[in-house]
Amino acid sequence: MNKLKMMALSATMMGGISAVGQAQTAHQEVPVYLQVNAALSLRVEDALSRMTLEEKVALCHAQSKFSVAGVKRLGIPELWMSDGPHGVREEISWDSWAPSGCTNDSCTAFPALTCLVATWEPALAHKYGQALGEEARYRNKSVILAPGVNIYRTPLNGRNFEYLGEDPYLAAQMVVPYIQGVQSNGVAACVKHYILNNQELWRGHIDVDLSDRALHEIYLPPFKAAVEKGNVWSLMGSYNKVRGQHACHNDFLLNKILKHDWQFDGAVITDWGGCHDTDQAVNNGLDIEMGTYTNGLTTESNFPYSAYYLADPYLKGLRDGKYSIEGLNDKARRVLRLIMRTAMNTNRPWGSLATKSHAQVDYEIGVAGVVLLKNDAVDKHTAALLPIDASKYNRILVVGENATRRLTEGGGSSALKVKKEFSPLEGLQELYGDKIIYAQGYESGRPSYEGQDAIDPKCQQRLHDEAIAKAKEADLVLYFGGLNKNHFQDCEGADRKTYHMSFGQDELIADLQQANEHIVVTLLSGNAVAMPWVKQIPAIVQGWYTGSEAGHVLAAVLSGKENPSGHLPFSFPKTLSDCSAHSFDALSYPGDSIHEKYEEGIYVGYRWYTTKKIATLFPFGYGLSYTTFKYGAPRLSARKFVGNDKLILSVPVENTGDRAGKMLVQIYLGQQHPHLDRPIRELKHFKQVSLEAGETKQVEFSISADDLKYYDDQIHDWRVDNDQFTVYVARSSEDMVSKLTFHYKN
């Protein structure tokens, strides 16, 4: 037996995965990851050799709504999953979507992922994942079905609030630490939805076609980073078809790209109801089939789990010789590996649920993600409206249903049963006491998967009129609106019907401004919205969905207790027709109900707006602060580099204001004469820098050949040209502070 095998066996005997650290001390010449993988492989192969055909097949499909059978005879535990990505979902009944009625499954709601990515801080993504993983571990979950990294292609997508924005580089940088944080608890992250689930309309069958270049440059990078850098242990396929095959059993996506090119060693799990055929499920890379005969949300079935495509039909095909034992072993091996990394890892921590420390994580991320979009004075004789100077106001009117609505409820599978959710109204009342008065302003109805409550126009008018009357008597108006988790809003299962806010909010905001020009609009949403009133409103805040601590987060930012430092992770177009997905015929979006073609190619989000010179309402990367910053002259270590050399870009930054704040330095690159058309510039690096008042820091970035590459679908590979490049130091995708040029040669 060779030294590596002996060491791996020793590690296995000492308790498996976490015991290999002891082996490392005695044998420093063998890398830890080899010891871990070898030890794990020995345990998997040993278990596999002891299993019957029936036991192996049972690993490949659900035994309940959210679990897979282990192998009780061998002491291999069940695999239990739970929805995320913003908290651990309440316990669901064994064979229905109904809540199980537990009293100990209330969780912490963390900010929606659009808020997380708006922080532009990978360290916070790790904190987020770690806290979420602790709650999942406490609830004895082995897999948390998160995070989502589908690219923001259109602001109508109902699930954009669950994802990490429009830019593949930003999403990739944020998803890796999130995964590592979750998995540090012995809980598997399950990155989703692989791939091109960029709309909810017709999601179960729409067949997406796009160029290889768009696939590799825009939509694959976050998933690739999750696998190659995050070492994610599981992955969920998406509902839609890609080039004629459903993504949950797609030979090109799963066998070729995921398992061959990226060497993914985890398990591929269907979205619930995403499997459609035994032959394709067997042969095209699927490992675990969940939720068959449901729509993923509400539909129940009378079919037993033994009728699943990877259950009795698979078993029969194996016995008849139609399917190979080698293929079954690969599936079972991957599921065993997942179980041993999680449920059988005896050294994983215990976890914790709904603690003060988790509330603090929620608060910290929420504050860091809130984006100050506009902050003007009402006239030239007064200061900016924010932060609120309480000494100026005796009556502060809070308007809007979102000031009191529980925004952790509804939205589809991300709905949460929260231990405590502080509303914006509660947060402001804690700060300002009886100065706060409230008017609902509008009514939206209850969350629903099937539709939306009819709203009585007379009731809506009454709420509108009451708010206007109170606004006339107030010193300051704080409006909380935007979207919510209703069907056709920010919700799984359907796309938004309009880019405008619903329930008469645009008219309400305009009338409130006419009644009282001292008004701040805070939008709670996971999506961009139209703002026909943008020029008239002096202060606008993008407040996202910030979870359990929402009220404390928003009150802290509006009052100035916290300095906003978030920046937009996606562009806000002026009109829907400005968006690239909506700039072509209906086949581009939403498709013809059967097919859809991404006609914009690689020109998604800011790549489209900047290259086509289309002005946005608010650009990607945009965000204001209560302090001011100044950029110094950037410097490059050289003006040309060759091959694998690197350039060092140094940017001096200074806080020129009177309070501490965070400054986001964004670095974009553009190419002078590319072999194929490229966007005018693309984000390649960023860094959030904390600065005290008057403090200056040097921020450095390393530019390599990898930053210059693009995908050439003529040669089916990445390439970098000998050419001149421009590096831009920027405040946003549209605000270039300075630029330098350099030459690259292979």
Instruction: Match 């540090």 to its residue by tokens.
Output: 184
Contact 119, 127 (CB under 8 A): no
Contact 130, 383 (CB under 8 A): no
Instruction: Match 């916290």 to its residue by tokens.
Output: 562
CA dihedral for 113, 116, 117, 122, sign (positive or negative) = negative
Within a 10 A sphere around the Cβ of 632, how many other Cβ atoms? Answer: 16
- Closest to 526 measured CA to CA, from 556, 565, 496, 548: 496
Query: 501: number of CA atoms within 13 Å, CB side?
Result: 32
Q: How far apart are CA 409 and CA 417, in angstroms?
A: 7
* Residues 6+ positions from 732 with CB-CB distance below 8 Å: 567, 568, 619, 620, 621, 622, 623, 666
Within a 10 A sphere around the Cβ of 458, how many other Cβ atoms? Answer: 8
Query: 662: number of CA atoms within 13 Å, CB side?
Result: 23
Catalytic residue among 271, 287, 362, 707: 271
Contact 417, 440 (CB under 8 A): no
713 catalytically annotated: no
* Cα dihedral 257/492/400/452 (nearest 10): 160
Three-state DSSP class for residue 459: helix
Question: Strands, E, within 330-484: which ranges?
Answer: 371-375, 396-399, 436-439, 476-482
Three-state DSSP class for residue 124: helix
Q: How far apart are CA 481 and CA 537, in angstroms?
A: 14
- Closest to 662 measured CA to CA, from 731, 539, 738, 564: 564
Q: What is the SS3 assignment for 362-374?
A: HHHHHHHHCEEEE
Contact 368, 119 (CB under 8 A): yes
Which residue type sits at 696? T
b/e 293-317 (16+ beta carbons within 10 angstroms → b): bbebbeeeeeeebeebbbbbbbbeb
Residue 374: what are its φ and ψ, rounded to 5°? -155, 140
Q: State both tokens at 320.
A: 């008849």
- Strand-pair category, 396-399 with 436-439: parallel
Helices (H), 573-666: 606-611
Q: How far apart are CA 486 and CA 89, in angstroms?
A: 18
Contact 175, 224 (CB under 8 A): no
- Closest to 727 measured CA to CA, from 645, 659, 638, 653: 638
- Read off the DSSP letter of residue 62: B
- Integer angstrom CA distances of residue 571 from 607, 616, 620: 10, 7, 4
Within a 10 A sphere around the Cβ of 145, how many other Cβ atoms? Answer: 28
- Closest to 362 measured CA to CA, from 155, 687, 65, 134: 134
Instruction: Match 């059988």 to its residue by tokens.
Output: 344
Contact 130, 108 (CB under 8 A): no
Q: Is the peptide bond before 590 cis (omega within 30 degrees of 0)?
A: yes
- Strand-pair category, 647-655 with 629-631: antiparallel
Query: 242: number of CA atoms within 13 Å, CB side?
Result: 24
Active centre residues (catalytic):
271
